Structures are given as C-alpha cells and as structure tokens.
Structure 1
Amino acid sequence: MGHGGNVIAELTADHREVEEYFIRLRALPLGDKQRRDVLDDLTIELVRHSVAEEMYLYPAVREHVPGGGPMADKEIQEHAEVERVLKDLEDVDVDDARFDALVLKLITDVTEHVREEEQQLFPGLARACTSERLMELGDQVRRAKKVAPTRPHPSAPDTPPANKLLAPGAGLVDRVRDFVSGRGTS
C-alpha cells in the first residue's frame, strides 16, 4: 500500500502485489492453515485497492476517457463479483473443497480484471489526462487506501458520493476488528 507515483504506477504496483499473494496461496498445500492468513492479507489489499479505484479512478475515467462511463461500470461490476467471492471465502474453512474452488475463481476473476485495466483502461486514462492530473489521482488513491475498509462489504455503495462518505467509517470499524482479532498481521 502506498507505492508512490501517478495513479497508474500506484495501481500497477498494487496489481503486482496481488499477484505475489496469488503465488503464495498456490505454493501452500491444499488445506494448509497458513492459506487463511495469506487470504486475509490478500483480502485487505484487494478491498483497499478496489475502494480507492471506485472513489477516484473510475470517476476520473468517466470524466476524461471517451466512452469511459460503460468502461467504469464494467470494472465496478467486476469489483462487486470479486467482493462477493471474498465474502463467501470468509465463511469457508481452508480444508473445505469450496475454499479451493473459490480461491481459483478469485484468482481467475482478478487476473482478468487486472489485464483489462492495464491493457485498456490505464492507457486510455494516460492519453486523456495530464501528468499533473495523474499524479493528483495517485495521491488521492493513496489517501483513500489508508482509510478504506479491509473486509468485503458487498452491499456497500460503490460510486460517489455515498462511497466516499461511508468507506472511511467502515474502514475504521474494520481496522478495529482486525486489531482485536490479529487479522492481517502475518
């Protein structure tokens, strides 16, 4: 979290971090209890990343990129599906066969989403925005990740202004829960 640079560099660094979590998950044997810790860390990163994109990236895509509205809508819908999978994973033990099926779906969905963002959305945004605007968006995304929720909230609003109002409160509650439970400290 908080890699620096413009919004594209920031979010691309997040994508590489998520891919590292996927490698760690795949390296652990099926049923290994450490998979829960890795999944918790991955979930924290994915949720913060998604919330920050929904707060700042997608509104900028709508505003600056020709045809950006439908593109942003598609990305937000993909986030919603990933968030539902993450929520389902919260209630499944690592030695349950559903755990591995859900992890595979998560990896497949996120990998495709990242590919689309990096090959289509980011280049469109880079063409449409000044370097100053991209840096400003990077700063906004970094600030948003600091206060964003760390747990999936599939029914929470995913577009401004409601998400900008509610996300920090949900984030505070999530971080308190994480602190008390020790989640995300691996």
Structure 2
Amino acid sequence: MGHGGDVINELTTDHREVDDLFQQIEQAMPGSAERKQLADQLTIELVRHSVAEEEHLYPAVRKHLQDGDALADKEIADHARVEELLKDLEGLNADDPEFNHVIVKLRTEVEAHVRDEENNLFVQLSNACAPGDLEQLGDKIRTAKKLAPTRPHPSAPSTPPGNKLLAPGTGLVDRARDFVTGRGK
C-alpha cells in the first residue's frame, strides 16, 4: 500500500509506516543514536499526520457523520495525549531510562487511536461520503502533511481556523530547524 488515493488509503498507509517505525525502535540497540533518530522520525510522522487530520479529516467527520462532533472531539483528545508524550520524548536522549517508558506509553496510545480510526471512524466515513469526496480529502491531507510542523506543539490550536492559519508557519520554522540540526534525515 502506497501513498495516494482517498483519505482512508492515505491515512492507513501512514498508520502502517508508524507501526514500522515503532518496530524499528524496538529492534534498535537500547540507548543508541539510531534509536533517537528513529524516535525523531516517528515524531515527525506523527505530528504531520495529526496536523493533517485536525485540519481536514475531523472537520469532515463533524460535517458528515452522526455524532461527528463527539467523534472528532474524542480523536482530538487522543492527539493531545500523544502530542504531550511526543513533547516528553523530544527532550530525552535514547540512553535516558525514561526514554523506553515514554516509547511504550506512546505506542499504547497510538495503537489504540489507530484501531479506533480504522475500525470505527474510517468505516463510518466511507459509508457517509462519496468516493470523489474521499479522494479530494486525500489530496488535502497530502498537501497539509507537506506544510505541517515536524515537532510537537501541544499548546497550538487543534481546530480550524487557528490550526490552518498557524500550522504552515510553524511547519516552516520546524523544517528550518530540522535542516540546520540534521534532524529527520
């Protein structure tokens, strides 16, 4: 499964990539620089994915699904917990004893969120939206990920219009920091 296609294919592909990064972290030597690099890559992918969902997927959920507001609010709350863990992880070296603990908590949160999206939210969205709408939403998600921040910003807005206004600028600053530091290469 590659990137492209409708929103469900795009986000499911992201989910599999995140699963793979968690496995790579688990297999890397404890305390190694490789582990920290993989954690940085995981953070980049999770933040970009979350921002794109918050900008485009959850407004569509609110619009198209019965109880959409409650569903979107629950998903955004999941993201907030993940983002706090990512912020904790960002400040840790791979040899810090807390690093493994945060990775385990993060994986638990992310896996629960992914299961809920794939088994509940995506099914409902697929039934409620026309294929063309899902394709357009996939395009919007891909564009948003290109402009999204790459670092956790727990205090940033998670709903429109604030997130759509601030995310591209924050993303530009994050990508500049990443370029200078070599993070995510």
**Band of TM-score, shorter chain:** over 0.9
Moved more, 120-129 or 91-100: 91-100
**How far off its partner does 1:31 sit?**
1.2
Equivalent position of 2:154 in the other structure: 154
1:111-150 → structure 2 map (5 Å cutoff): 111-150=111-150
- Aligned mates of 1:176, 1:97 — CA distance in 2: 30
Equivalent position of 1:93 in the other structure: 93
- Percentage identity across paired residues of the two chains: 60
**How far off its partner does 1:29 sit?**
2.4
**How far off its partner does 1:33 sit?**
1.9
Equivalent position of 2:28 in the other structure: 28
**How far off its partner does 1:96 sit?**
1.2
Equivalenced residues, count: 184
1:3-82 → structure 2 map (5 Å cutoff): 3-82=3-82
Displaced runs of 4 or more, over 4 A: none
CA deviations 1:39-72 (Å, max 9, x no partner) are 1111111000000000000000000011111111
- Aligned mates of 2:108, 2:43 — CA distance in 1: 15
- Letter in structure 2 aligned against 1:182: G
Which stretches in structure 1 are left out of the alignment for 5+ residues? none
- Letter in structure 2 aligned against 1:151: R
CA deviations 1:133-176 (Å, max 9, x no partner) are 00010000000000000000000000000000000000000000
- Aligned mates of 1:106, 1:67 — CA distance in 2: 27
CA deviations 1:11-58 (Å, max 9, x no partner) are 000000000001100001221221110011111110000000000000
- Aligned mates of 1:93, 1:141 — CA distance in 2: 31
- Letter in structure 2 aligned against 1:173: V
- Aligned mates of 1:9, 1:90 — CA distance in 2: 29
- SS at the partner of 2:42? helix
TM-score normalised by L of structure 1: 0.97
- Aligned mates of 1:175, 1:143 — CA distance in 2: 15
Which stretches in structure 2 are left out of the alignment for 5+ residues? none
- Aligned mates of 1:27, 1:93 — CA distance in 2: 17
